[in-house]
């Protein structure tokens, strides 16, 4: 484990020191390697049901799918704290089933902690006792989308704000090490953040939370049509990806790509001899005196497998073979 690995105590210490926590969603090893050096935590969210699978909500995501993506992300993580979402119906049936499924996310997926929506204090307490860290999630909880009546701001009414604060305190007392606040008025998020000793991580909850989280695809601007108020795009990769693919397709159709610099030749140069090999005679002295072939055989050109004689040019070309030590990829991409 890297010495600078972000852990649960690390995140709680950042809260005490007033240092803002950075979190992003992540769903594969390639993005994990890119994001890991720059953020404190990565979340394998059930948002994969929308941004990866193309669904209209997160409800169809299964536990096995979250495990699969978490395992992929874990392979690219050396620094960040890795959290995995517990998807819909992976913990609502019973506390026992919730404990079992949370354990799978750590054992099979390689997560460091799990995230659970709602005030599931009994489950949080049980998980904490068996050594599974829990990140709570209040406000807009997407797994309750049908109960909430859509993706709406939560906590605007006084009684809603009071309940949200009570639930936050209850989750802290149950053992949650942190809390995501989603789509909550900034005043309510500020009150909750000040009241709790554990860090709050906001998405659409204003600037007063102890940290922030965004969906990586939204941050990078892959979908120009998705424009919620809380989102700031830090790039427009959707447009840039389309431009790159358009250029690739055009070059293929025009025969520009691949060029000679992207191609392999059969007539590759042979590797030079090692210094000590160059000094040694290739044959014993008595062997050097003997002809390697019978006189009549030496006059005949060697025939290929099809039995037809080779021309002098073809014979020369055949003597130059592709260097067997040449690699298609560098070690970083795969041997």
Tell me: pLDDT of 293 over 80. Answer: no
Tell me: pLDDT of 316 over 50. Answer: no
Confidence class for position 55, pLDDT limits 50, 70, 90? very high
Confidence class for position 267, pLDDT limits 50, 70, 90? confident
Spot the catalytic one: 65, 120, 122, 182.
Answer: 182
Given its phi and psi angles, is residue 70 left (phi above 0), alpha (psi -120 to 50 degrees) or beta? Answer: alpha
Confidence class for position 307, pLDDT limits 50, 70, 90? very low
Mean pLDDT of 167-195: 98
pTM of the prediction? 0.81
pLDDT in tens, 228-242: 999 999 999 999 999
* CATH topology for the 8-219 domain: TIM Barrel (3.20.20)
Tell me: pLDDT of 79 over 80. Answer: yes
Mean pLDDT of 271-285: 51
pLDDT in tens, 81-94: 999 999 999 999 99
* SS3 assignment for the chain: CCCCCCCHHHHHHHHHHCCCEEEEECCCHHHHHHHCCCCCEEEECCCHHHHCCCCCCCCCCCHHHHHHHHHHHHCCCCCCEEEEECCCCCCCCCHHHHHHHHHHHHHCCCCCEEEEECCCHHHHHHHHHCCCCEEEEEECCHHHHHHHCCCCCCCCCHHHHHHHHHHHHHHHHHCCCEEEEECCCHHHHHHHHHHCCCCEEEECCCCCCCEEEECHHHHCCCCCCCCCCCCCCCCCHHHHHHHHHHHHHHHHHCCCCCCHHHCCCCCCCCCCCCHHHHHCCCCCHHHHHCCCCCHHHHHCCCCCCCCCCCCHHHHHHHHCCCCCCCCCCCCCCCC
Residue 182 annotated to the active site: yes
Q: Which of 2-16, 145-159, 276-290 has the lowest mean pLDDT?
A: 276-290
């Amino acid at each position: 484990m890297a010495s600078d690995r972000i852990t649960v105590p690390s995140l709680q210490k950042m809260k005490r020191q007033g240092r803002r926590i950075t979190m992003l969603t992540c769903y594969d090893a390639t993005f994990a390697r890119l994001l890991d050096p720059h953020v404190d935590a990565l979340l394998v969210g059930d948002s994969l049901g929308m941004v990866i699978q193309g669904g209209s909500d997160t409800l169809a995501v299964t536990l096995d799918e979250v495990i699969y993506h978490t395992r992929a992300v874990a392979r690219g993580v050396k620094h960040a704290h890795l959290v995995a979402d517990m998807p819909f119906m992976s913990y609502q049936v019973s506390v026992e089933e919730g404990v079992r499924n949370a354990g799978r996310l750590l054992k099979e997926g390689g997560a460091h902690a799990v995230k659970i929506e709602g005030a599931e204090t009994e489950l949080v307490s049980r998980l904490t006792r068996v050594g599974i860290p829990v990140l709570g999630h209040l406000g807009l909880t997407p797994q309750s989308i049908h109960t909430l009546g859509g993706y709406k701001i939560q906590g605007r009414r006084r009684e809603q704000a009071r309940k949200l604060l009570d639930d936050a305190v209850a989750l802290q007392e149950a053992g949650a090490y942190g809390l995501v606040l989603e789509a909550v008025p900034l005043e309510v998020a500020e009150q909750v953040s000040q009241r709790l000793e554990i860090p709050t991580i906001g998405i659409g909850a204003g600037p007063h939370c102890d940290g922030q989280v965004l969906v990586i695809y939204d941050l990078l601007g892959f979908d120009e049509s998705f424009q919620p108020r809380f989102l700031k795009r830090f790039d427009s990769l959707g447009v840039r990806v389309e431009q790159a693919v358009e250029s690739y397709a055009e070059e293929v159709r025009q025969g520009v790509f691949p060029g000679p610099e992207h191609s392999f030749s059969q007539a590759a140069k042979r590797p030079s001899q090692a210094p000590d090999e160059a000094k040694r005679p290739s044959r014993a002295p008595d062997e050097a005196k003997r002809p390697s072939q019978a006189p009549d055989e030496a006059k005949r050109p060697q025939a290929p497998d099809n039995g037809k004689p080779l021309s002098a040019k073809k014979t020369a070309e055949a003597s130059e073979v592709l260097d067997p030590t040449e690699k298609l990829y560098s070690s970083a991409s795969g041997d």
